[in-house]
Amino acid sequence: MSRRCHVEVDSRRYELPVVVGTEGERAIDIRGLRRQTGMITLDDGYANTGSCTSDITYIDGEQGILRYRGIPIEELAENASFVETAWLVIFGRLPSVTDRNRFSNLLTENSMLPDNMRKHFEAFPPHAHPMAILSAMINALSTYEPQRQIESDDDVELAAARLMSRVRTIAAASYKSSVDEPLIYPRYDFKYCENFLHMMFSLPYKEYEPSPEVARAINLFMLLHADHEQNCSTSTVRMVASGQANMFASCAAGVCALWGPLHGGANVAVIQMLEAIRASGTGVADHVRRVKNKEAGLRLMGFGHRVYRNTDPRAKLLKKSADQLLDHLHIDDPLLEIAQELEQTALEDPYFIERKLYPNVDFYSGIILRAVGIPLDMFTVMFAIGRMPGWIANWKEIHDDPHSRIYRPRQVYTGNPLTEFVPRDRR
C-alpha cells in the first residue's frame, strides 16, 4: 500500500508521497512540491533534508549504529582490511579472493606518480598546507588520466585504484616538501597503509618500517573513516558529480570541503585543546570546570557528535586501538597523558554523562595520529585518504544513475527589493 501525507497551503490540501527506506526511515517526497504549490521548503544547513537515496552507508544516531553496505562496522573492524572495506564500499559487496588480489595489485602498480608530477611539488611555497597541495594535485592527476568515458565497473575499479593509490603518494610527498626532505618512492612489497607510512617517514639513508601495531592502528583509522553518509564533504562530491565532473575533480572538491575545522579538522582541534590545557598550567580539572561553567564559550573538543546521540561506534573501536598502541609504543608525551586524564574525567562526570557527551572518533583519532608521529597539519589529509572510498562510491552512484539530474538547490531571497540604478555623477 502506498503511503501519503497531506500538506495544507493557503487553505488548499496537497498530497505528497512518503518514501520508506530499508531500515524504516521515512521521508516526505517533496520533489513535486513547487510544481503543485508554487512554494519551496527552507532548511538552513540541510539538517532535515534528504538530498538523495543511497545504498552505501546506514547510520542510526540514536542507537549508535554504523554499517557499510549493511555490514556492521564492528564486524569489518574485526575481520576486514581497509582495502577490502574500500572495495565493499565502492562496489556494494565483499570482494572475492580474486577481486581483492586484483584490486590490491592495481593499488600497488599505480602507486608511482607520473614523473612530471613530482616537479609540481617544487612550485608550492615552503610550508604550504598539505590539504591545499592535495586538492591541487588530485586535479592535476586527472590530466594524466586517459580521457575516455567510464562505462563499466572495470573502468571504475582502475580509476579508483589510481586515485586511492596515488592520493597517499601525493600526501606523503606534500609532507616531505613541507619539511624540505627528499620525496620517497613507494615500495611494491608493502601493503597499503605500510607503504604510506614508509613514504612519510623514510629517508634515503634510513628506511622506516612500521611495526605491525602501528600499521594495524592506521589501517583501522582508515577503515573507520571510509564513509559516513551525507556529510559536508560527501555531499560536495555528489554536488560536483551531478554536473558530470570526473571522479578526480569531484574528489578534489571533497578535499576542499573536508578542510574546515568543523568537519575534517575536528581531530586537529582536539590536539590544540590538549596543548592549551598544557600551556595553561592549571590542569584538566580546571579546564573541565571552565567548560561546565561555559566560560568564554569554551568547549570540550572531541566529545559528542551531531549525528550520534549516544556513543560513536567508531570511537569504541578506536579507543581500544589507541590503548593498545600507547602500551606498545611506551611514548612519554605529556599531551597524551593529558588526553587520557581528560577522557577518564569526562567519562566519570555526571555533567557529561547526563548530556551524553562521550568521546567521539576525532578524540581517539587525534591521539593515534599523534602517537604514530603524524604532524598536526597532516591530520585532515589522513582523514581524506581514509574517506576516498566513500567519495568514490558516492560519485559512482551519481554516475550510474540514468535519471541523475544536476543538483540545483533553491533559495529564499532576502535582499533589496527592486532598486533604481544611480548614475556615477549622482552617487
pLDDT block averages, 10 residues each, the chain of length 427: 75 87 89 87 89 95 95 97 98 97 96 89 87 94 79 94 96 90 92 96 94 96 97 97 96 96 90 92 90 85 86 92 92 88 90 89 92 94 97 97 93 95 95
In contact, 159 and 150? CB cutoff 8 Å: yes
Q: For 124, what's the count of Cα atoms within 13 Å in the CB-facing half-sphere?
A: 25
In contact, 220 and 318? CB cutoff 8 Å: yes
> What is the C-alpha separation between 259 and 131, in angstroms, rounded?
7
Residue 145 has a pLDDT of 78
Residue 148 has a pLDDT of 65
Q: Which domains does the chain have, with CATH numbers?
A: 4-50 (2.20.28), 72-256+376-400 (1.10.580.10), 266-372 (1.10.230.10)
Q: Residue 165 to residues 129, 195, 237: CA-CA distances in angstroms? A: 21, 10, 19
In contact, 251 and 405? CB cutoff 8 Å: no
Which of left, alpha, beta for 110 (phi over 0: left; psi -120 to 50: alpha)?
alpha
Catalytic residues: 305, 362
> Model-level pTM?
0.93
Tally of CB atoms within 10 A around 307: 15
- Beta-bridged to residue 20, according to DSSP, are 26
The phi and psi torsions of 320 (rounded to 5 degrees) equal -60, -45
User: Which residues neighbour 37 within 8 Å (Cβ) at sequence distance 6 or greater?
Assistant: 7, 9, 12, 14
User: What dihedral angle (degrees, nearest 10) is formed by the CA atoms of 200, 206, 212, 215?
Assistant: 0
Average pLDDT, the chain: 92
Which three cell numbers mark 271? 590536539
User: Which residues neighbour 408 within 8 Å (Cβ) at sequence distance 6 or greater?
Assistant: none
First to last CA, the chain: 65
Residue 38 has a pLDDT of 86
Residue 410 CB burial class (10 angstroms; 0-12, 13-18, ≥19) = exposed
Q: Residue 301 to residues 31, 130, 168, 305: CA-CA distances in angstroms? A: 38, 23, 27, 10
Please tell me whether residue 357 adopts helix, strand or coil conformation: coil
- Beta-bridged to residue 18, according to DSSP, are 28
Which three cell numbers mark 380? 585532515
Which amino acid belongs to residue 193?
Answer: C
